């Protein structure tokens, strides 16, 4: 039993550690997964905002696989002022869906809505996104000389490499070419399926090996416990034998007498039911005092 408890404790510790790591990863998929993804500085004949006006814009991409709320964070174009524009909280627009985008217009007109910044991109070549504490930098980019109506961004969403994009893609995937999936790549490398068969067999054999190890260790644990149980049974049997040898004839006689008395019920047994009998008396008017034979004369 001690071995089983030890095994259960180890398994519980492993599960708890996995849950902690998973929870840590879930917490990590927050503001730190946001990326400045695409920027257009000179907007002459490009994307227009809801007011029908053209201005520079910034695309923020959520690289995580859960929703991230950008509300409360800061955007700035001044390294000396990281809290230049505070993104308001409590608006559904600030909730960025998994692997999705949000646009901000650098038009220096914050009264038009939370997506309109209080600065323009022509003022400086610097752009940064800061955490809600106003101190932790999430992402930053140095723009350099820009071209009219040509956006500067990551060649792939959330990627490392930057460059001028062939098409401006506000709120869409930066890579506009043909996307080849991992399955298609593997199919091109292994047209006859030999590699897939080898991988499948390897997985099956690995699973069987793991099951063998698990059942082997479990068998050892149960065999140890069975040996312990048999030893305990032998000790109990020996104890009973010793007890039988110590029982004398007087003890046997007393036990037999007690059993006889119990079976024969040789003891007082009273009923718990109370019976009240009614006492009936015959009434005669001749015996009543009110009918006395004597009467006093006045």
Tens-place pLDDT, residues 33-89: 999 999 999 999 999 999 999 999 999 999 999 999 999 999 999 999 999 999 999
pLDDT value at residue 285: 58
Helix (H, G, I), strand (E, B) or coil at 216: helix
**Spans in the chain with pLDDT lower than 70:** 1-29, 218-227, 233, 239-247, 265-298
pLDDT value at residue 237: 72
pLDDT value at residue 253: 81
Phi (first) and psi of residue 261, to 5 degrees? -65, -35
Give the tokens for residue 61.
Answer: 């991409």
Cβ distance 84 to 77 under 8 Å?
A: yes
143 half-sphere exposure, CB direction, 13 A CA radius:
26
Cα–Cα distance, 89 to 74 (Å, whole number): 11
Residue 3: partners with Cβ closer than 8 Å, 6 or more residues away: 221, 224, 225
| pTM of the predicted structure, to 2 decimals | 0.56
Residue 53: partners with Cβ closer than 8 Å, 6 or more residues away: 107
Helix (H, G, I), strand (E, B) or coil at 181: coil
Helices H / strands E in the chain, number of each: 4, 11
Ordered DSSP codes for 104-135? EEEBS-GGG-TTB-SSBTTS-SEEEEE-TTSS
Tens-place pLDDT, residues 170-188: 999 999 877 777 777 777 7
pLDDT value at residue 201: 87
């Amino acid at each position: 039993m001690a071995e089983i408890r030890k095994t259960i404790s180890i398994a519980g510790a492993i599960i708890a550690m996995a849950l902690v790591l998973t929870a840590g990863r879930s917490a990590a998929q927050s503001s730190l997964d946001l990326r400045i993804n695409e920027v257009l500085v000179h907007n002459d004949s490009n994307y227009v905002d809801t007011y029908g006006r053209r201005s520079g814009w910034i695309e923020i991409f959520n690289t995580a696989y859960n929703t991230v709320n950008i509300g409360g964070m800061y955007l700035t174009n001044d390294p000396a002022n990281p809290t230049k524009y505070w993104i308001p909280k409590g608006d559904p627009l600030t909730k960025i869906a998994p692997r999705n985008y949000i646009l901000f217009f650098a038009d220096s007109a914050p009264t038009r809505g939370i997506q309109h910044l209080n600065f323009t991109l022509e003022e400086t070549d610097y752009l940064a996104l800061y955490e809600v504490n106003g101190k932790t930098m999430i992402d930053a980019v140095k723009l350099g000389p820009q071209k009219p109506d040509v956006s500067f961004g990551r060649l792939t969403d959330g990627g490392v490499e930057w460059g001028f994009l062939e098409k401006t893609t506000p709120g869409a995937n930066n890579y506009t070419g043909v996307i080849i999936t991992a399955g298609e790549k593997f199919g091109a490398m292994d047209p006859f399926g030999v590699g897939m068969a080898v991988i499948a067999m390897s997985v099956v054999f690995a699973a069987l090996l793991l099951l063998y190890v698990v059942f082997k260790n479990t068998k050892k644990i149960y065999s140890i416990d069975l040996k312990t149980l048999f030893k305990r049974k032998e000790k109990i049997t020996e104890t009973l034998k010793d007890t039988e040898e110590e029982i004398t004839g007087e003890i046997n006689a007393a036990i037999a007498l007690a059993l006889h008395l119990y079976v024969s019920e040789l003891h007082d047994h009273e009923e718990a039911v109370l019976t009240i009998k009614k006492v009936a008396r015959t009434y005669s008017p001749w015996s009543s005092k009110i009918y006395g034979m004597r009467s006093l004369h006045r």
